[in-house]
Structure 1
């Protein structure tokens, strides 16, 4: 019997047992894709990462990301958490980690900057690998039935419910209040109906709903539901947050702007997460989406395979 070591971390938080948990297999050599999927299913976190030597020796590592049901091309909290775990190691496949890491992923290269507190690695800031892509709009009534709220509570003022991506597509909808956000409850049968209508999301239909106040429009409260991917609710979703930040910035009238946005997620689950976004828009086009967060190490162990 062989074993591989793992580390878990809570991501997008500086408090233990908050944020979004992640399992990292920091040396996944010898594991098949099938074995990786089984391990990810066993952890049953929203994502588990598997780190391999890079194909290009100038890069840091190749990172594969699995949900409990499928491999995905990119996700935010797995990159932030994997960078945190690798940055605290003495070496990464024989090389001493610097403050900048480059991950090879299915969606492209992910550029990572380690964050430090008192000299110790405490988190990471990553650049989303893809440009903003905006997909089809979604009927407000369908969104309302997905989360069992009044259709009148789906806002269309800033944008209609729609798909957007900076590496992984999500459905986005704005709600009218914190009260509605708190009452939202996913109906898996309607999610399956939505997935059959919309094919943008390879893991089914992942829905990001949010609200924001007029006095703090760039401090956004959010919830994310992905029941078709065995993630009833996700406490922190970096890739979706980056896509929303990029999309909202694209809708601003200014041709050139740099926005700082905070996404607060996971509150209703008792796992409060804070995701920092830096979005750059130039010549009317969003050119860069950066997301950052703190992390806390939780567990170490071995998986037999």
Structure 2
């Protein structure tokens, strides 16, 4: 991409899953990506160095309000949670009008995702179906336990929770155990592991969540919509979580992520607050 090919496009950077500015997970959104190549999108996503960058386009499906492409610094994802909410927030804020009042339909590589808007303006997406939901092999669980610095017996249950990202979900006995984890990324290299544990009754949130990505750029994600969507289906479906609950995430990183989960109308809805913190144009 040479300077001669650059053009100004509307841009927003959105903080997702927190009511506190800088308390959630940041997302870069290019609001008009018409004419951009896949290589150009990937180059820009690499440059932002955020967990995800999204590019909004006109839909190709007549049921959709807009189309989104989601990129990490190294690859394109078919679906991700905080990019879904943040993109919908940015699209609405830029003047987007959904075909159906109170419901947006987002087209992505994973298919159509419904996003509802409640009376207070809170967005929530319908959790996509899990494309892989099964027990985790014992040898993989041994690696996971080593990576979490826990004895194997501390992993109360585990399952593959794949809805785009290939999460392994791990249930622990308590939120305190989740918060105490000091990850050993090399021990679980190549795995994406989400951990969830219940808070005691009366706490501000019902669960504590942490997610660890052990690829070429190991990191802990601040707040993760895709994992929370899979974990909600797993735990509500097995009776280990109520039909409505709130999970906190990012606590160890100094963030105040809050993910609101609600079962209703045959869906699991995953929602949270979004705030635009940067807006303007980007030359890309």
TM-score (norm 1): 0.81
Query: What does residue 221 of structure 1 align with?
Result: 208
User: What aligned pairs does 1:44-59 form with structure 2 within 5 A after superposition?
Assistant: 44-59=49-64
Q: Could you tell me whether the CA contact under 8 Å between 2:70 and 2:77 is conserved in 1? A: yes
Residues 109 and 301 of structure 1: CA distance in aligned 2, closer, same or farther (over 3 Å): same
Distance 2:18 2:275 in 1: 7
User: What aligned pairs does 1:68-79 form with structure 2 within 5 A after superposition?
Assistant: 68-79=73-84
Query: What does residue 180 of structure 1 align with?
Result: 177
CA shift digits 1:3-43 (9 cap, x unpaired)? 33320111111111111111111111121111111111111
CA shift digits 1:30-63 (9 cap, x unpaired)? 2111111111111122111111100124421111
CA drift at 1:303: 3.2
Query: What does residue 248 of structure 1 align with?
Result: 235
Residues 115 and 69 of structure 1: CA distance in aligned 2, closer, same or farther (over 3 Å): farther
Equivalent residue for 2:105, pick from 97, 102, 106? 102
Give the secondary structure class of the aligned counterpart of 1:161: strand
Equivalent residue for 1:32, pick from 19, 31, 37? 37
Runs of 5+ consecutive residues of structure 1 not aligned to the other structure: 196-204, 282-286
Equivalent residue for 1:271, pick from 230, 255, 259? 255
Query: What does residue 290 of structure 1 align with?
Result: 269
Q: Could you tell me whether the CA contact under 8 Å between 2:130 and 2:161 is conserved in 1? A: no
Query: What does residue 63 of structure 1 align with?
Result: 68
Distance 1:33 1:178 in 2: 40
Distance 1:161 1:96 in 2: 40
CA shift digits 1:207-246 (9 cap, x unpaired)? 1012114536981101111131635011111111011010
Query: What does residue 208 of structure 1 align with?
Result: 194
**What value does the CA root-mean-square deviation take over the aligned residues?**
2.6
CA shift digits 1:116-161 (9 cap, x unpaired)? 54xxxx4411112325741341434321211233444x232xxx32
Query: What does residue 125 of structure 1 align with?
Result: 124
Stretches (4+) displaced over 4 A: 95-98
TM-score (norm 2): 0.87
Runs of 5+ consecutive residues of structure 2 not aligned to the other structure: none
